[in-house]
Amino acid sequence: MLNLNERIGKIKTAGARLRPESPQLKDYFLDLKLYLESLGIETLIGEDCARMIGLSGVDDYALFSRSDFLISIGGDGTLIALARNSFKYEKPILGVNMGTLGFLTDVQSSEIKSAIDRILKHDYAIDKRMIIQINAEINGKKQVLHAINDLVVRHQKMKMIHIDLIIDGTLANTYYGDALIVATPTGATGYNLSAGGPIVYPYAKNFIFTPICPHSLNQRSLVLPTSFDVELRVKEKEGVMIIDGQYMSPFSQNDRVSISMSDSFVKMIRRPERNFFSAIRAKLNWGEINSR
């Protein structure tokens, strides 16, 4: 969902998270903090990131509730983790790319100060990305989880696994293979794409089901509107579900997992001129012709 009119309001405080296990980002963060404070913006940093670089920080509640917007410094994985932990606070996130591909992070490391200036001048857009809500009953205990990119179901011991896909109470398919990816449109250009799944417009409201190395060659990706009730079941005792490649939970034959679109969204700050199709052309080399 595109929103060219939503604005942050008066910015008094910014919150930052850094890529884990990257103490080399200390100087970059300190320079950014100094710049923000020269503009009258208090800068907070999460306590885990602060420990990594030898500073004092605040807990997640303080970071997310006190900040007017959040800054993710790292790569797409850093941004996804921050989004999954903070989306309930509805704070927009500015992604700074310190890595290579940076499909979701809109700003390169050298552009951060000009990006801050543009935000203060209201020269930006806020995108709303859908979230998968996972209602799970694991070992008799209910829990609610969320995925920004994808949910992957596989066998704990990397064996083949049977996965039933039930749509509106009807068995639609049984996948038998290495794993099944359930991706959001945001996650379509991640693991889903690597596994041969389709690219989906990131502001759409769809679930994308892509099997990994299915036993039957007629198994293909399925794109489904989020209006359907979807349930997943496995037939093995040692299944596992992995959320955004960062969180793992057991998922066995007696467990129940249903997925739906969350009522909440992830808010991402981007430059107004950034176009999704231009981005995938640049990042994925669409239209490139080998002249040799």
Provide the strand spans (E) within the chain: 2-3, 13-18, 42-45, 69-74, 93-97, 107-108, 125-138, 141-147, 150-155, 161-167, 170-183, 206-214, 222-225, 230-234, 239-243, 247-250, 256-270
Position 73 in a domain: yes
Position 248 in a domain: yes
Instruction: Look at the block and give the residue holding tokens 């208090």.
Output: 42
pLDDT in tens, 184-202: 999 999 999 999 999 999 9
Is 31 a known active-site residue? no
CATH number of the domain residue 79 falls in: 3.40.50.10330
- My answer on whether 85 and 192 are in the same domain is no
Which residue range forms the structural domain that includes residue 82? 2-124+271-284
pLDDT in tens, 202-236: 999 999 999 999 998 889 999 999 999 999 999 99
pLDDT in tens, 33-88: 999 999 999 999 999 999 999 999 999 999 999 999 999 999 999 999 999 999 99
- My answer on whether 139 and 259 are in the same domain is yes
- My answer on whether 250 and 188 are in the same domain is yes
- My answer on whether 182 and 203 are in the same domain is yes
- My answer on whether 98 and 205 are in the same domain is no
Position 38 in a domain: yes
Token digits of residue 35: 């710049």
- My answer on whether 240 and 179 are in the same domain is yes
48, 59, 60, 76: which is the annotated catalytic residue? 76
- My answer on whether 105 and 36 are in the same domain is yes
Position 292 in a domain: no
In angstroms, what CA-CA distances link 133 with 32, 180, 258, 265? 34, 17, 8, 11
147, 153 in Cβ contact below 8 A?
Answer: no
What distance lies between CA 181 and its chain's CA centroid?
A: 14
pLDDT in tens, 102-117: 778 889 999 999 999 9
Position 290 in a domain: no
- My answer on whether 146 and 117 are in the same domain is no
Count up the domains in the chain and report the number: 2
- My answer on whether 11 and 105 are in the same domain is yes
Our CA dihedral for 26, 32, 34, 36, rounded to 10 degrees, sits at -150
